[in-house]
Amino acid sequence: MNYVRFAITALIMTIGSLLIAFGFNRLLIPHQLLSGGLSGFAMIIGYVVGGNIGWLYLALNVPVLVWGLYRLGRRFIGWSIYSVLTATFFMQIIPVAPIANDILLGAVFGGILLGLGSGIALRYGGSSGGFDIVASIVTQKRDFPVGMVIFLLNGLVVVLLGLITRSWEPSLYSLVSIFTAGKVVDLVHIRHVKVTAFIVTTKTDEMLQRLLTRPRGVTVIPTRGGYSSAKQDMLMTVTTRYELHELRKLIRSVDARAFVNIVETAGIMGEFRRIDD
């Protein structure tokens, strides 16, 4: 069963990488537009010096992936490495040629494909590399405004393109692409960076011990069933969208019948990361 699940995840990740590579080579790069994140920096370098953008995308992701390997779970980074490698491979075999001569269509549909590919990777426990890994590392330590930081970094990429090309039109169209990709990721995965999980289980002690192995705090809330009047505990924990897949997997492994309510968290106060004595 685990092999089947692994094969399905690999297939879905491959499809996500194919969408990303197709969006790059057939919609964005032919119009010299940018995506967000490290791929945007790779595109700028490629436009200026004429290098292979696919290999540049891989090269820029290597140090980030190595950093993540020491700071994040092996599964998350493992699938992220797979996603980056397969996207790089597809970028070598998909020709760089526009399928839409209209630059606005290229920006919009390029953003849609990138958002689908990146959202799929996040939803199935990986990422498309770049700023997603940086954000995942940063949010492990503290309640940091990751969304704003990523927005500023993407803005820097767009400004650099305008300064280098001395034309702001491609930069503005690139903003359309980045905005579209972000919205599609929100639809495919989840909108807020932080989420709260309320877990009702009959295996409280076992679930609690497993949850405490993560870098997040857990609150135990006594509850009583409205229909059965049975007394049991509800566990509450706040996590990030980058860790949500692993949390779901952990809960299923302990109690497949647990009732879980996951809600998006607009903001928190106090300690976000669990503090050990």
Structure confidence by residue, pLDDT tens digits, 103-128:
999 999 999 999 899 888 888 878 88
What is d(CA 86, CA 18) in angstroms, rounded to the nearest whole number?
8
Q: What is the pLDDT of residues 202-238, one digit of tens each?
A: 888 899 988 888 778 888 888 887 787 777 889 999 8
Summarised one tens digit per residue, pLDDT across range 190-209 is 655 678 999 988 888 899 98
pLDDT at 139: 63
DSSP annotation of 276 = P
CB neighbours (10 Å) of residue 267? 8
Indicate the residue type of 106: G
Cα separation, 200 vs 217, whole angstroms: 16
Residue 92 binned pLDDT confidence (cut-offs 50, 70, 90) = very high
This prediction's pTM? 0.75
Note the helical H segments in the chain: 2-23, 38-49, 53-71, 74-93, 103-123, 131-141, 146-165, 169-188, 204-211, 244-254
Q: Are strands 259-265 and 231-240 parallel, antiparallel or unpaired?
A: unpaired
Phi/psi at 36 (5° precision) = -85, 170
Question: Residue 266, class by beta-carbon neighbours within 10 Å (0-12 exposed, 13-18 middle, 19+ buried)?
Answer: exposed
Cβ contact 188:120 at 8 Å? yes
User: Among residues 41, 188, 196, which one has the least CA distance to residue 129?
Assistant: 41
Q: Mean pLDDT over all residues of the chain?
A: 84
For 91, the token pair is 């970028």
> Given the structure tokens 């309510």, which residue do they identify?
261
| Per-residue model confidence (pLDDT) at position 144 | 56
Domain annotation for the chain: domains and CATH numbers: 2-188 (no CATH), 194-265 (3.30.70.120)
